[in-house]
Amino acid sequence: MKVVVIGGGIIGMLTALELVKAGIAVRVLDKSHPGTEASWAGGGIVSPLYPWRYPPAVSALAVMAQELYPALAAELTGYSGIDPELTVCGMLMLGADDARDAMVWSRKYGRRIHLLQGHALAAMGDGLAQFNDGIWLPDVANIRNPRLLQSLRRTLEIRGVAVDGGREVVSWERVGNRMRAVRLAGGETIEADQFVLAAGAWSAGLSSTLAGPMPVRPVKGQMLLFHAPDAGLRHILLHQGHYVIPRRDGHILCGSTLEETGFDKSITAEAAVDLHAVAAKLVPSLGAMPPVAHWAGLRPGSPNGIPFIGRHPEAHNLWVNTGHYRNGLVLAPASVQLLGDLMLGRKPVLDASPYAMLDMRAEDQASSSS
Ligand SMILES: Cc1cc2nc3c(=O)[nH]c(=O)nc-3n(C[C@H](O)[C@H](O)[C@H](O)COP(=O)(O)OP(=O)(O)OC[C@H]3O[C@@H](n4cnc5c(N)ncnc54)[C@H](O)[C@@H]3O)c2cc1C
């Protein structure tokens, strides 16, 4: 069997790894440089922010993926020699008013959570005495996502998977209810037995040439980077939806904005000011320090942040793995395992129904007619 994966982000490349491990011949096509879009731009927190605020379909994937990450990081490091720096640093959520929901969620999913106040909270970092309470998740990790992508791409190449940049898929060649080939900008066609659509924020454009629109949309996120090895930041800190993330090499990421501005990836002075203020509030020494970089990426937004994982309703041999919104880096290992199960006829590791395109479309129709 030969599979073509459209999209070389974390989802597309990790899908390719899942398939090649099962002995499938895979090729990855990307319109630009693989691993340089949302998966590169993200913060690499290996947890949803405020995980209890997401539907169970997201928690189920997240909890499973968190268990898979250490072995995945070790496997990729072993193959590629590039360590993606999975680092368990914990995540401290400040000023959140839903601690009760957090505790209920932690019991349901078996995640450790502690409520911190007073001295215990202040001891977690400089400047934290200003907050009254915090929700502490000690087991949350962050991963250095640009290195994860390099490591993954190298691993795929070592395992014989071609990961081709500069290959934009623009349409499909279809025979009845099967796809025969993809057509690239420039006219070349590439045939395969199965196809996987993992084009992130761009997935809806390719899907819409087939059937009704897939509700995946770009949601811009801007991020600032500081180099502050002496800042003493040890944990991910989260306040009112914004965060700082410590990397092993002394860099600190501060994110992020949520902007519905279409496929525009420009950065803005306003976001730089706002994010710098967030950074200074959470790590006071960053207030006087200029950021060393500022960038934006496009998340694949989806209804309730639930990704689409499964067969496309219009074609027997077209599969989708997209719409991971704010959580593609954390969800990826579980998401690709589920898709692999469905494609290869294995017993699904999770109930796949919440992620089915058909169900989501039916739900959308029901809500629009009510
Ligand atoms: C600022 C920011 C912070 C984030 N922080 C986190 C975080 O801390 N933790 C977390 O889990 N997630 C985070 N995310 C979300 C996460 O980055 C995304 O959910 C994830 O990267 C989506 O992966 P993807 O592979 O679907 O998309 P992408 O990485 O965007 O990859 C899609 C690929 O498809 C290619 N493509 C598109 N159209 C075509 C075509 N027609 N033909 C061929 N190739 C095509 C693109 O070039 C691209 O390389 C963040 C995102 C942003 C922007």
* Residue-wise pLDDT tens digits, 172-199: 999 999 999 999 999 999 999 999 999 9
Q: Which of the four pLDDT bands, split at 50, 70 and 90, describes residue 210? A: confident
Q: Give 95 Cα–ligand 1 centroid separation in angstroms.
A: 29
Q: Measuring from atom 2 of ligand 1, which residue has the nearest CA?
A: 42
- Is residue 36 assigned to a domain? yes
pLDDT for 114 beyond 80: yes
pTM: 0.96
For residue 146, give the CATH number of its domain.
3.50.50.60
- Is residue 366 assigned to a domain? yes
- Is residue 172 assigned to a domain? yes
- Is residue 174 assigned to a domain? yes
Residue range 155-174: average pLDDT? 97
Instruction: Tell me how crowded residue 92 is: count the other CB atoms within 10 A of its CB.
Output: 26
Between strands 251-255 and 217-227, the pairing is antiparallel
322 lines ligand 1 (CB under 6 A): yes
| Ligand 1 binding pocket mutation candidate from 89, 202, 302 (most atoms within 8 A of CB) | 202
Apex 51 CA angle, 224 and 347, nearest 5: 115
Average pLDDT, rounded, for the chain: 95
Rounded Cα–Cα distance for residues 140 and 235 (Å): 9
pLDDT for 369 beyond 50: no
247 lines ligand 1 (CB under 6 A): no
- Is residue 367 assigned to a domain? yes
pLDDT for 262 beyond 60: yes
Q: Which of the four pLDDT bands, split at 50, 70 and 90, describes residue 367? A: very low
Count of the separate structural domains present in the chain: 1
pLDDT for 305 beyond 50: yes
pLDDT for 65 beyond 50: yes
39 lines ligand 1 (CB under 6 A): yes
Domain hosting residue 360, numbered range:
1-86+142-216+303-370
- Is residue 117 assigned to a domain? no
- Is residue 340 assigned to a domain? yes
pLDDT for 366 beyond 80: no
For position 314, what pLDDT does the model report?
86
| Ligand 1 binding pocket mutation candidate from 236, 329, 339 (most atoms within 8 A of CB) | 329
pLDDT for 365 beyond 80: no
What is the DSSP code string of 96-122? Answer: -S-HHHHHHHHHHHT---EEEEHHHHH
- Is residue 277 assigned to a domain? no
207 lines ligand 1 (CB under 6 A): no
Q: Which of the four pLDDT bands, split at 50, 70 and 90, describes residue 370? A: very low
Q: Which helix (H) or strand (E) holds 154?
A: helix 145-158
Q: Give 4 Cα–ligand 1 centroid separation in angstroms.
A: 18
Q: Give 229 Cα–ligand 1 centroid separation in angstroms.
A: 28
Encoded tokens for 345: 């006829």
169 lines ligand 1 (CB under 6 A): yes
